[in-house]
Amino acid sequence: MSGTRNRRSGARRCVVQILYRWLVAGETPERLDAAAEWQALAGMDATGGPVDEAYFRELLAETHAHARELDELLVPHLDRPLAEVDSVERAILRLGACELARHHEVPFRVVINEAVELAKRFGAEQSHRFVNGVLDKLALELRPLETGRKDEHGQSRPA
C-alpha cells in the first residue's frame, strides 16, 4: 500500500508542477504533453520519487477538462477572489478539488494531507494553512457522510 501511496504522491507532485506552468505560462496540458515535457516526470518525479503514471495522466486530464467547474467549487470557500490566489496554491487547490469531487476512492483526509504537503513543499510559508482550510470546507460540502462533522451552521453531518 505504501508503494502505491508513494507513487500517487509522485503523480500529484507532477500534476501540480504542470498545472502551475499552465497557470503561469499559459501552456495547456495538451501542449505540455505533446511536447513531452511531462514525460521526463512520468516515471520519476523531480525529487527522484516514483510516479503512478496512469493516475498522473488521469488527474492531469481531469483537472484540465474540469478546471472551470473545480474553480466554481473552490470560490465559495476562498477568502479572496480566485484571481488573487497564488498560482502554486491555485494549482494545489484544483488538484485537491478534483480528487475530492471525482475520486471518492481516495479518503478525504488523504486528499487534504497530500495537498497540505504539496503546499509546504512548493508554496509560500503559510500557504499550507490556507490550502488546508479551503479543502477542509470543500470536503465538508462534497463528502458530508465521510467527514461526519458539523457544517458552518452547526448542523450535524452523518458519520
Terminal C-alpha separation, the chain: 25
Please state, rounded to an integer, the average pLDDT across all residues of the chain: 84
CB 37 within 8 A of CB 13: no
Q: Answer yes or no: is pLDDT of 7 > 90.
A: no
Nearest to 75, CA basis, from 67, 27, 121: 67
Query: Helices in the chain by DSSP H: which ranges?
Result: 2-25, 29-34, 39-42, 53-65, 67-74, 87-102, 108-122, 127-142, 144-147
Determine the pLDDT at residue 21.
Answer: 84
Report the C-alpha gap between 134 and 123 in whole angstroms: 15
Determine the pLDDT at residue 5.
Answer: 66
Mean pLDDT computed over 19-40: 67
Residue type, 89: E
Contacts of residue 7, defined as CB under 8 A and 6 or more positions apart, other chains included, come to 50, 51, 52, 55
Determine the pLDDT at residue 14.
Answer: 85
Q: Answer yes or no: is pLDDT of 20 > 80.
A: yes
Whole-structure pTM over 0.85, yes or no?
no
Q: Answer yes or no: is pLDDT of 122 > 80.
A: yes
Mean pLDDT computed over 102-111: 97
Task: Assess if CATH 1.10.940.10 describes domain 2-147.
Answer: yes
Determine the pLDDT at residue 3.
Answer: 60
Mean pLDDT computed over 23-32: 72
Q: What is the pLDDT of residues 68-98, one digit of tens each?
A: 999 999 999 999 999 999 999 999 999 999 9
